[in-house]
Amino acid sequence: MFTKILIANRGEIACRVAATARRLGIATVAVYSDADARAKHVAACDESVRLGPAPARESYLCAEKIIAAALATGAQAIHPGYGFLSENAGFAQACAQAGLVFIGPPASAIEAMGSKAAAKALMEQAAVPLVPGYHGEEQESGFLRSQADRIGYPVLLKASAGGGGKGMRVVERSEDFDAALASCKREAIASFGDDRVLVEKYLTRPRHIEIQVFADGHGHCVYLFERDCSVQRRHQKVLEEAPAPGMSEERRAAMGEAAVAAARAVGYVGAGTVEFIANQDGSFYFMEMNTRLQVEHPVTEMITGLDLVEWQLRVAAGQALPLKQEQLRIHGHAIEARIYAENPEKGFLPAIGTLTRMRSAAAVEFRLGQSAPGDPAHVRIDAGVRKGDAISPFYDPMIAKLIVWGPDRDAALRNMQRALAQYQVVGLATNIAFLQRLVAGQAFSTADLDTGLIERHRDTLFPPPSSPDTETLALAIAAILQQEHAQAERSDPWSQRNGWRLNTRLLRTLRFEHDAGDTTVQLDYAGDGQHWSLQTNGQTHALQLHAADGDTLMISLDGRTLRADVLREGEWLHVFDAHGQRSLRHVDPLAHAGHSEAEGGRLTAPMPGKIVALLVQKGASVAQGTPLLIMEAMKMEHTIAAPADGVVEDLLYAVGDQVAEGAQLLEFKAA
């Protein structure tokens, strides 16, 4: 076995490989770009080497730098992870020439499967079922159109060297073929430097089912069952599960044996995935082979109890496969959800930003390497980022992979719904709410699966924005009140903020902005600092704050006890409860008094009043929307917030001071 390996990747897969290496007593070397100097995967390894600037072509795609780093640190082998150089035959060959072990298949196998057209020709010779189509070298547009006419529409155009959903077009009619072909070729040449395409019959409601294969250098090859990856957007996977729902033992064996035949046809060694397109009638056809570890490999680990990275290391070190086909078993059901920094409502556009909060489900570490999944290891999280890390524009915007296990699919589905509701991310847009709707939807919950599921159910998966319910409003208001009370806990009675008034009660109007517009709530103080009433949408509700522990609140609303986490960031309140996350912006009409250009950007008193709390110190650096001080005017308390990112240069008044209308309250310098 190796004593030291270099991990030629980043993010969650680099952390994943490092975890297994650590368990096996193997030292690890991380590589990083300037954007990843303080990344989680760097901290997860024993030592690290800088590759270069942030762009991948100047860092993670620089084979020479990676090989030099391995040699300089004394690493014996290189694990490529997935993406980047993992399926680069030239890189695998260069590793061998440098005396390093490439923890993956031989360069010849990568090359053989790298071209979709060449791979399908090999599969045809190996008697692996193929989708009817044309996979040849002739690329003249008229000829390709004649092949499409022969196959019958609809057809699918696919870049021969493609992957990741790029260079793919569905053509419904012959008259649309030429324009679709030109578009496909343009995208293919831009993405892969190769504009060759193949033409295949397009199956209208296909499932995407893949088989995990493993081969060693001693002539052994097995399949570790299947994964269903049918739920996709833009030809990219969103949810994966194992085993595939509705899979019969006969069909599983047939697909597994076909996958093994495909691996043997190219002299495969290591972990690989043979992907099939499957019809609803049970027929299946070879699509492609990924000559690496897949993103979704954890679901296979969860149902077999095996560590696939450990198998990779053992096979690369020359050992035989640990188990034979007849020794492999399926235990229960596993589902994986990919949590991305992206905006599903805007076409799944990637999002960038800093993870100001990242709190996940109560995961119990999955004990890899045992014979079966151990109870209660029902939730596993593979993440390459931490709270405070940034999702940059340079790399894939994945935040984490959330994997759950259950004794059957229904149990796994319930675990996934619970785990998604507990996942809390603040700082950028995510697909968590979309995943919740997807998992709870009838199509996925009943296993009515095909690659068009998301598009077919757009109405339910992308509902119009809705106003926050009364529970969300009550929790947001409770968080505001709790913070105000915490800031005003002083001995003198004039600083108390319990709403007490002589011969009257305090009525306060709160306005919240949200995705669906804005909502106004009338807050009536009882005067004891513990009870309030809310009036919204023509109804009155009784509110009581029971307990607060950090961000966690417990309230009573109309006699019902509610518990939730509420995170406040400037004017934004993020409410996390059993149903997921809602974000509201508390709009105080006087909070930004003095921000106008006519007032020179000074923070001034909106009217005569009294300073009741100073929330920052002189010299503090603050972000836009950060509360700076609180003043009381006309029996109401108002928070004065930072108009922009900047520095508080001076505080001009103290707590208890009376100020005149228009008085400058502090000196502020915008960044």
Catalytic residue IDs:
292
Cα 42 from Cα 227, distance rounded (Å): 31
Asked if residue 129 lies in contact with residue 155, where contact means CB atoms within 8 angstroms, the answer is no
- The Cα-based distances of 371 to 172, 212, 387 in angstroms read 48, 17, 33
- Compute and round to an integer the Cα radius of gyration of the chain: 29
Tally of CB atoms within 10 A around 638: 21
Cα 643 from Cα 668, distance rounded (Å): 9
Cα 261 from Cα 258, distance rounded (Å): 5
Cα 665 from Cα 629, distance rounded (Å): 9
Asked if residue 378 lies in contact with residue 335, where contact means CB atoms within 8 angstroms, the answer is no
**Where do we find the tokens 């296990």?**
405
DSSP SS3 for 41: helix
Residue 280, phi-psi category: left (phi > 0), alpha (psi -120 to 50), beta (remainder):
alpha
Cα 288 from Cα 262, distance rounded (Å): 10
Of 199, 209, 229, the C-alpha closest to 275 is 209
Question: Please, what's the largest Cα pairwise distance for the chain?
Answer: 93
Concatenating the DSSP letter of every residue in 436-469 gives: HHHHHSHHHHTT---TTHHHHTHHHHSPPP-PPP
Concatenating the DSSP letter of every residue in 213-270 gives: EEE-TTS-EEEEEEEE---EETTEESEEEESPTT--HHHHHHHHHHHHHHHHHTT--E
Beta-bridge partners for 232: 237
Of 62, 109, 13, the C-alpha closest to 383 is 13
Asked if residue 632 lies in contact with residue 484, where contact means CB atoms within 8 angstroms, the answer is no
Per DSSP, helices labelled H in 468-588 are 470-487
Cα 601 from Cα 604, distance rounded (Å): 9
DSSP SS3 for 524: strand
* Burial status of residue 531 (CB atoms within 10 A of its CB: 0-12, 13-18, 19 or more): middle
State CA 273 to chain mean position distance: 22
DSSP SS3 for 416: helix
Asked if residue 492 lies in contact with residue 612, where contact means CB atoms within 8 angstroms, the answer is no
